[in-house]
Structure 1
């Protein structure tokens, strides 16, 4: 069956609110870890993850950093209007460039209480402790978001610095609470580097220096990619089949050195830490495959669209795809791939790069649950049933799993 015809109602389970972790554990690696291998389930904690990863495995982490995307503006009359920054307007070439802008940016945003905001009104957000005032002017409204012009009166500050001082941590909507001081640290991985996400790559939240050191001692190698997680990761599938679902696009950035690591690991296992890392790696394969086959690739726009992976006939070997990426970078005088992907990974997908996945437990009827089902088949029900029966905590601040691709 083509994934277009999948019915989302076939990918659901009962998730009581009480099973959604509202807060993280005090110790990151104390979270429970479910290990799934070819129908068999075992249980441990993240502190012992290295015991379950083979020698010479390459583990790939998403080094994106969550920004303070929630901006609490107020109208001149005092009414509250929250602006949630989604992604830079297309006038900026990529997220990193937009984050380094000084004085002004255009950003695509969600707006709370938008009906109370008349187009002619400029909103202000004073930040006297940081020495600037942030202003917001509505530029345009589309079906999915508003384009907002954001200006600040400190010419030395980048937009990344402005967000840090003016904004708040964007916790997932299903937590139904405001961020507190602890979230500043705990809703960020220890290897977060590239600012741009509005949600954490939550599988990485369980990793500590101790876990990383134990993996290194076992000769488990590590590599880093960047996928800036957008608010679309929480977008529910509302259509009856996937045919009508519009997969969200997200920015990815991968250095040539990471692609070389993927090549060097040959037949050794590759484990993606998080669905974001997995989507990045599999997108890399399809971008490289399109380049190898001489197909058009819109690097400036969206390089991989929703159904590309299911409609490209006669896919090339992994090595050819990865080398095509390196050749593309050499020809264009760059050392990294920066583009967007809308890849949808669902049952019927053939994995080209990864062998395993470290991931949390996902919402019912979500594209992330479809991804898990693509990896381990109908046994996703067995895995989620075990987690529910054995008091695992669910979603962003919950426990997690190590899932090996179904053979």
Structure 2
């Protein structure tokens, strides 16, 4: 056994150029493996800042049904008794049912008791659920129709990424918590009505000062006028047959991440069987990108590994062919086929182990140095630590590559008889 290792050492030093090339191949493979693993981690981290932490948001509402006979007399209908045992706000209808209504994405909706919002909020797949009011009413002066929305100003974080936030303010300021009595206007509505910050607008019987002009794009819950939940509730009550108490007509539901979004929506429908969910479908292809990127990176990593092993095998086979006379002499003096196989595989794995260890160290150096410089601050927030498990895994993979690269040349040498190995062509 000692003779075998001495022969391994001698052969590696005798052909320094080939040894260096093989070792560099494994250095490259080990380093690239470390970089690929962290690249996948960085990709997931960067995308999760947009997808996972934002959380896909949906809104749910109960679609309105036709009036039930006897509702104007205050009787609780049979269907209401079956659903909840109490009145489900059928009396809370607009005074002008032809021009005014609770709405969501132009669909007329009914009302949702806020106790259901708390039930949805408690779901494990849901990050947050908040009540919301969206009502279409007529202007008392010119009878034009406009929409108002009411949200909890104290919980801007729940709406900010999907509804309205201080970042959407074009002029003026955003609504302040605890300071009711003011409104913000959508930019298009403000232009059409020739309204600016500081002007006043009449909503129902109340007059509100305009403190901000916002532009929301195509986000969910878009309306002409943005108000605090309490102000919207007070204004809407003046346009209803019976006032709101603890109801809302829309519920904003934010899933914990894109992977739990579908589950969250199914759970909401179980709690509110008659609800209709409005959501953006862009999260579906976006969430798939996480897995698609991983697959692409691993595919190229696999091709790279195959290439390194193939080149090492070719180099090792060339070495065996060049040394066929030496191998024939060793067999003639008593070396067995297993000894020959063991030596050649030992040569290959020795080069792989040296190259793999250096490659892992180089990979971490590259991540801390060159990559951080290229990506800048966006990469500095990603934890890059020397994981013993990852280091050991990369080392083992390069070692396995060395074994694979040495197996074919080893058996090629072993099957030759001394006479065949010594014969000159």
State the TM bucket, normalised to the shorter chain: under 0.3
Larger radius of gyration: 2
* TM-score normalised by structure 2 residue count: 0.25
User: Which has the higher relative contact order, 1 or 2, with Cα contacts under 8 A spaced 6 or more apart?
Assistant: 2
More helix by share: 2
More strand by share: 1
